[in-house]
Every structure is written in structure tokens, then in C-alpha cells.
């Protein structure tokens, strides 16, 4: 997915592209949860938005249940959206403050004409609320009357309203307090089991990803640099960026922290408007050699199911 960058206000002309997502390949099995991790600007959210077709990718294919949806027209998308939904990060800004909770959750049911009968729709809304651990009487409340955790439950109930098969969770627990975050993580797990859901779990909090996902892909500046089964990735990270990322996360145990040898990766994520040549991580990489500046490494399967885009690891 490339976004055009323009110059000038009235007569604008295109001066380049932001390669927000730059040649990304992965699959998600039915019932699986894939974690997509990386820092701000790495393209993880854009990847999610492309899959949901909230963006149209500039090149490449997105196959959903065998069907190429990457350039599907508006009409066909309506049917698709019943099958794929999204839970957003911020439960404060992703709920309409002027709508009652019941109307927020009932709206997709109404829009898609699933249940024209108002009374049955209300019953469905109340059921969804209790599935998500909220009292059905919350249907008459407004979002501002609820806490952050309760609002996120409303966002989840809305995503479930159409019985989707696939849900993109875009930083779905990041804005929540620690004690509430665990409640929502458990809820997402219960729902996955109960409704046989498939998740794309986009997050920057690696410990939540380790807990919730079966496989993980690590992104850096629009590219996937490493992908593996969850324990393999966290126990044997091979890409220097993944290693730096894992080392940077402090562990909530002072005894463990005291034994860790820790040197943070130098520098900052470069601008995606003008990314480094070759391997995009080379300016910050402790293992970089001359060749890394020239050749863009491909994602190779170094061990069964463990993919790495680095020419210096074997």
C-alpha cells in the first residue's frame, strides 16, 4: 500500500510515495490468531485496513476465503463486511458519543438488514451485551457514562453483531489500564473459542501478543522482517530488529531485570518517505555489513515455519 505525497495546496503535484506497506506476504488460517507487531509507522495498521478494504492496495492480492478482494467493488464489499469486522484501539473516539450504546451495537444489524424487526433487534443487542460481559440495561446508556473497559466491551459487541468470521483487533487493549486489559484479553479469547473466530491482532505490546497469538509477524518500516510460531519467535528471535525489540521490553520482575545485559538499539525509525536503501534496518543494525546497504533481503524460511528477512543470519 503506497500513499501519494503531494506538494502545494491549490495545484498539487505528486512528489513521491509513502510506502506504508511495502510487499507484505502472510496467511492466516481459519481459527488462528496472527499477531502483527512493530513500532509506530511500521505499517501494521495500514495492513489491517487493506485487509478490511478500508484502503485499496496499490499492488498485490488479498485473498479472503479463496476470493481476491483487493479490488472488489462497493456492492460486493457490503457482503464481505458482514464477514469481517474490526475492533479499534480507542474506546473513547471509536464510539459515537451521541448514540446510545444499544443503537451503536444495533446499527450494523440495521444497516445490513439482518433483522428488520425492532424488538428482535433489541433482544439481539441485549444478548450481545451480556456475551461481552455487560449488563443488558447498558443499552440505554451513552458511552460517556461508561469506563474505558466497559466501552471497549461495547466496541467488541458491535464487532460481533453480524456474526463475523474474521476480526481485525487494532491495538484493541492498548489504551486500557493493566487490570482492565487482562479482562478484555480473556474476553477476546473466550469469544474466539465460542464463535470460532479468526483474529489479526495488531499490537505493540509484545507480552499480550505472546499470550494471545499462535503466530507472530514483526514489521519494520512497511516490511515483515520475521514471522514464526509464537514461542519460537519469542524464544529464538533471529532478526536483529526482533532481538532489539524484545530486549527493549522491560520484564516486570526486578530479579530478571538485574540479570539482563541490555543495550538499546541506537537511532530511530527512519522516515518512510525516504527509507534507507537495501535492508531498511541497516542503519541501526549491529550486524550490518556493506551488502545490507545494497540488497533488499527476502523473507526466507530458515527453520520450518520460521521466516526471516536478513541476509546475515543462517
Partner 1 sequence: MPPLLEVKGLHTEFRTGAGRVPAVDGISFAVEQGETVAIVGESGSGKSVSALSILRLVADPPGRITSGQIVFDGKDLLSLSEAEMRQIRGRDIGMVFQEPMTSLNPVLTIGRQITEVLEAHQGADRAAADKRALELLELVGIADGPRRLRQYPHQLSGGMRQRVMIAVALACSPKLIIADEPTTALDVTIQAQILELMKSLTLRLNVALIVITHNLGVVARYAHRVNVMYAGRIVESGPADAIYHDPRHPYTIALLKSVPRLDQPRRARLDPVEGQPPDLTRLDGGCAFRPRCRFAVEQCAQSIPSLAASGEAGHLAACFRSAELGAARDVAA
Binding mask 138-177 for partner 1 (x = CB under 8 A): ---------xxxx--------------------------x
Site string for partner 1, 177-216 (x = CB under 8 A): xxxxxxx-xx--x--------------x-xxx-xx-----
- Between 88 and 220, name the residue whose CB sits nearer to partner 1: 220
Only one of the segments 113-121, 155-163, 228-236, 306-314 lies at the binding site for partner 1 (rule: CB under 8 A); that segment is: 228-236
Stretch that binds partner 1, among 99-107, 158-166, 251-259, 288-296 (CB under 8 A): 251-259
Determine if residue 114 is left, alpha or beta; phi over 0 gives left, psi from -120 to 50 gives alpha, anything else beta.
alpha
Comparing CA positions, the residue from 199, 213, 79, 90 lying closest to residue 155 is 90
CA torsion angle 175 179 181 187 (round to 10): -150
Nearest CB to partner 1, comparing residues 196 and 207: 207
If binding is defined by CB under 8 A, does position 131 make contact with partner 1?
no
Query: How many residues sit close enough to partner 1 to count as binding (CB under 8 A)?
Result: 46
Q: Kindly tell me which of 85 and 150 has the beta carbon lying closer to partner 1.
A: 150
Among 62, 131, 229, 269, binds partner 1 (CB under 8 A): 269
Binding residues among 85-124 for partner 1 as defined by CB under 8 A: none
Radius of gyration for the alpha carbons in the chain, expressed in angstroms and rounded = 21
CB closer to partner 1, 25 vs 195:
195
In terms of Cα–Cα distance, which of 125, 119, 296, 133 is closest to 225? 296
Sheet holding 33-37, edge to edge: 84-87, 166-170, 198-203, 33-37, 215-220, 223-229, 306-308, 300-303
| Burial group, residue 26, by CB count within 10 angstroms (0-12, 13-18, 19+) | middle
CB 82 within 8 A of CB 112: yes
Which listed residue (224, 233, 244, 280) binds partner 1 by CB under 8 A? 244
Pairing of strands 198-203, 166-170: parallel
Please, how many CA atoms are within 13 Å of residue 2, restricted to the half-sphere of its CB? 16
Stretch that binds partner 1, among 51-59, 65-73, 89-97, 230-238 (CB under 8 A): 230-238
Closest distance to partner 1 from the beta carbon of 34 (Å): 16
* Cβ proximity to partner 1, 121 vs 282, nearer residue: 282
Strands 33-37 and 63-64: unpaired
Helix or strand (DSSP H, E) at 240: helix 240-248
114 vs 185, beta carbon nearer partner 1: 185
Question: Count of CB atoms within 10 A of residue 169's CB?
Answer: 27
Residues that bind partner 1 (CB under 8 A): 39-40, 147-150, 177-183, 185-186, 189, 204, 206-208, 210-211, 230-231, 234-235, 244-257, 262, 264-266, 268-269
Amino acid at each position: 500500500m503506497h500513499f501519494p505525497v503531494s506538494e502545494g495546496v491549490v495545484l498539487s503535484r505528486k512528489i513521491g510515495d509513502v510506502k506504508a506497506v511495502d510487499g507484505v506476504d502472510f496467511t492466516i488460517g481459519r481459527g488462528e490468531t496472527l499477531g502483527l507487531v512493530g513500532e509506530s509507522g511500521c505499517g501494521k495498521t495500514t495492513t489491517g485496513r487493506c485487509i478490511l478494504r478500508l484502503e485499496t492496495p496499490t499492488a498485490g492480492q488479498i485473498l479472503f476465503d479463496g476470493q481476491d478482494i483487493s479490488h472488489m467493488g462497493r456492492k460486493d464489499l457490503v457482503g464481505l463486511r458482514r464477514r469481517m469486522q474490526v475492533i479499534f484501539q480507542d474506546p473513547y473516539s471509536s464510539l459515537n458519543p451521541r448514540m446510545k450504546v444499544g443503537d451503536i451495537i444495533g446499527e450494523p444489524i440495521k444497516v445490513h438488514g439482518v433483522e428488520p424487526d425492532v424488538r428482535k433487534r433489541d433482544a439481539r443487542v441485549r444478548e450481545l451485551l451480556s456475551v461481552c460481559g455487560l449488563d443488558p440495561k447498558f443499552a440505554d446508556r451513552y458511552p460517556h457514562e461508561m469506563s474505558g473497559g466497559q466501552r471497549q466491551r461495547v466496541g467488541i459487541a458491535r464487532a460481533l453483531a453480524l456474526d463475523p468470521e474474521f476480526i481485525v483487533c487494532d491495538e484493541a487493549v492498548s489504551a486500557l489500564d493493566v487490570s482492565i486489559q487482562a479482562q478484555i484479553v480473556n474476553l477476546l479469547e473466550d469469544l474466539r473459542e465460542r464463535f470460532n473466530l479468526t483474529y489479526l491482532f495488531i499490537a505493540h505490546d509484545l507480552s499480550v501478543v505472546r499470550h494471545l497469538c499462535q503466530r507472530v509477524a514483526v514489521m519494520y518500516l512497511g516490511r515483515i522482517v520475521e514471522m514464526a510460531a509464537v514461542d519460537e519467535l519469542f524464544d529464538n528471535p533471529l532478526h536483529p530488529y526482533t532481538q532489539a525489540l524484545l530486549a527493549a521490553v522491560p520484564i516486570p520482575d526486578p530479579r530478571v531485570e538485574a540479570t539482563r545485559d541490555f543495550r538499546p538499539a541506537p537511532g530511530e525509525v527512519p522516515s518512510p518517505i525516504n527509507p534507507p536503501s537495501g535492508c531498511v534496518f541497516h542503519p541501526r543494525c549491529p550486524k550490518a555489513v556493506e551488502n545490507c546497504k545494497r540488497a533488499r533481503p527476502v523473507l526466507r524460511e530458515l527453520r520450518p515455519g520460521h521466516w526471516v528477512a536478513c541476509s546475515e543470519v543462517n
